[in-house]
Chain A
């Protein structure tokens, strides 16, 4: 039986080391060990996307990644989306379009949507819905979320 493993990562651009047991998920490590509680736990089995983070350039459900797997990894979480006190256009668009109610799904949606817009600045509604199919929301009925992503895409293109 091993004891805790020393995991060295980069989280939101900063070097972060943590200790974890092999059975702990990356989600648990982020929330309970590192103290980054913006990433949420919904289902803990890969279905809801509340725990979405970017791991070495790909979005994943952090509940289905072991913390020990993150050795040497580059991780981006919801805490890294705003620049200081300036909200990201997606965050503003979610607020302005009322794309959240309880908000538990929102960090996951924003991290997912950001990775979509990073690679496809002008997605169609179909592409947005398809990309976000792995993120579930029990409150909004999705329409406002799709509108918010479209709105953010438009504003980001106007700004660039």
Chain B
């Protein structure tokens, strides 16, 4: 609808943006540029200081945890139980930051990760650990599929921002209800033995939760290293900051974009599998988590991709702590939603027409 106006302001960033310029001033407009943490190590002080702060914080928390059962529980359960949240947010943020697309249908990538895992484990008789990665890969492929079939076409047809969100909303609903046709209306459980628990700081944790936490850590590090260190990572950063220029200097946008969609889908699928094994798999699995994922991504994304990870971890711990305190998960969600909306109000990304793939 308002395509001409948008074109004027996005496709010619070099010329006078004039009245629109006030928006370009916002604190976070560097948005697509500092894709990952900007800690390229240029400032000699920073890495050392960050590390020591983190170590100090960790030591402090462990000390607190050994003194207080509540803190220990919040920390351990919060970090492990909500590892899937961090994973999901990381994948979503990758897509959002690098392609500019806020993909509501990501919820169904999560759901499908859960379904793929259940389906693989019941049809092949494999254990949970064996099916996690294949399920994630299938979800990644599906994610690539939705890009090729829908979002790529939409981008070529220059669908506007608002319309793009409405479209992904529609796709999300379509997949959610389509799933009910394929997998049935019933909630599904993994057919696995009760998990063995491992004691951490005196709190028993199911082993698959530890695996979830480990894969979050691993995936975060991998993605970070990938984007900061590799040739493809360089191309991704180039593409995200200036598509035209990147293309001109030989970046092949399709390959890179497909890669982004695959990694994002993989993270979402893994998250879905971990969510699923923690409780059950149903068509609403992903969409129940979507709002929290969105909030973590938008608020964490005010900083960078690692910001998303930290906000995700903090959210998980806060959620658990409040749930332990109130005895009801819904109240903690309520508090979190209010808190996040307040942060968005103050620091959210202003009305800019950012570059969108």
Asked if A pairs with B, the answer is: no
Residues of B participating in the A interface, judged by any CB pair closer than 8 Å: none
Show the binding face of A for B, using Cβ within 8 Å.
Answer: none
